[in-house]
Copies of this chain bind each other. A is one copy, B any other.
């Protein structure tokens, strides 16, 4: 029984990008070998090099895809919605936990992972990850303006993002989701009574 046509939902190129996203998210970029990609996406080398010129070319497409997704789901849908600020902050924190709850493993934050793996020896990746962090901090600072005032907003936004990323790091190493939950709860309390 052949199920060839099922894949035509997305294009072949998108299929490769999506499959590789998973691999890079859990194994990192360098540690994801071309052979892993070829096996996971069930394609041959010819097909791969028909759509992408190098492995890095694919890597960049994967990061772009991550940035696009987060831009939609976190920044646009939550932080730039027209709900009250306190609600937006809470929704962001809910989203963070839900993100790591659903993927029964401890792969961590794709941007945090890439930041630590790549930022010191590859400018292309560093810059792309940077754009997302910058957007995140800026739009979060906008939200926090109403809570801590204009002067301190950006500093607090940095601190909150740092706390989340650090929490994810600890969660990953302890292989224990409750650590992240504690830290998120800590953030909630910190900004609830303002």
Residues of A whose CB lies within 8 Å of any CB of B are: 26-28, 30-31, 105-108, 112-113, 115-117, 119-121, 126, 129-130, 133, 155-156, 158-159, 161-167, 169-170, 172-175, 179, 182-183, 185-186
- Please, could you name 30 A-B residue pairs with CB atoms under 8 Å apart, sorted by A? A27-B121, A30-B31, A108-B116, A108-B120, A113-B116, A115-B169, A115-B170, A115-B172, A116-B116, A116-B117, A116-B169, A117-B117, A119-B172, A129-B173, A133-B170, A155-B182, A155-B186, A158-B167, A158-B170, A158-B182, A159-B163, A159-B167, A162-B162, A162-B167, A162-B169, A163-B163, A163-B166, A165-B169, A165-B170, A166-B169
CA distance A129 to B113 in the complex (A): 16
Give the number of times this chain occurs in the complex, counting copies: 2
The 8 closest A-B pairs by CB, nearest first: A166-B166, A162-B166, A165-B166, A115-B173, A162-B167, A159-B186, A119-B173, A116-B116
CA distance A75 to B48 in the complex (A): 50
Complex: chain B residue closest to A174, CB-CB:
B130
Determine which of B113, B120, B121, B163 lies in contact with A162 in the assembled complex, contact meaning CB atoms within 8 Å.
B163
- Neighbouring B residues of A166 by C-beta, 8 Å: 161-167, 169
Taking the nearest CB of chain B, how far is it from the CB of A171, in angstroms? 9
- Neighbouring B residues of A163 by C-beta, 8 Å: 159, 162-163, 166
B28 touches A133 (CB 8 A): no
CA distance A173 to B122 in the complex (A): 11
B133 touches A120 (CB 8 A): no
A120 touches B30 (CB 8 A): no
- Neighbouring B residues of A120 by C-beta, 8 Å: 26-27, 105-108, 172
CA distance A169 to B111 in the complex (A): 10
CA distance A53 to B120 in the complex (A): 30
Taking the nearest CB of chain B, how far is it from the CB of A194, in angstroms? 14
